Amino acid sequence: MTPPIVMDNSVEDDDSFTKPLRRLSVLYYGMGHMLNDITAACWFTYLLLFLTDIGLSPRDAAAAMLSGQIADGFATVFVGELVL
């Protein structure tokens, strides 16, 4: 007769939440962050050119981009609080 299989799915024994990140993970995170910033800079430059090309004045195009950045700032805070 075989012994019964005991499955313990408790999180208390899992040390993956307290282990520090390895150097390669930190390097990949840093590279992704840098590429995200470069992409955002290209996107904002293109968006300004596009908005002025479709007929918005430079002031209106800047106001549209600024309102988007303010909305992004508020959304980031709220989503960050919801995730935690």
- Those residues of the chain that have pLDDT short of 70 are 1-17
Q: What is the pLDDT of residue 3?
A: 66
How wide is the angle at C-alpha 37 spanned by C-alphas 33 and 41, nearest 5°? 170
Of the candidates 34, 36, 32, the one whose C-alpha atom is nearest the C-alpha of residue 24 is 32
What is the pLDDT, as a whole number, of residue 53? 95
Summarised one tens digit per residue, pLDDT across range 62-72 is 999 999 889 98
The pLDDT of residue 51 is 93
pLDDT value at residue 19:
80
Give backbone dihedrals phi and psi of 65, rounded to 5 degrees, phi first: -70, -40
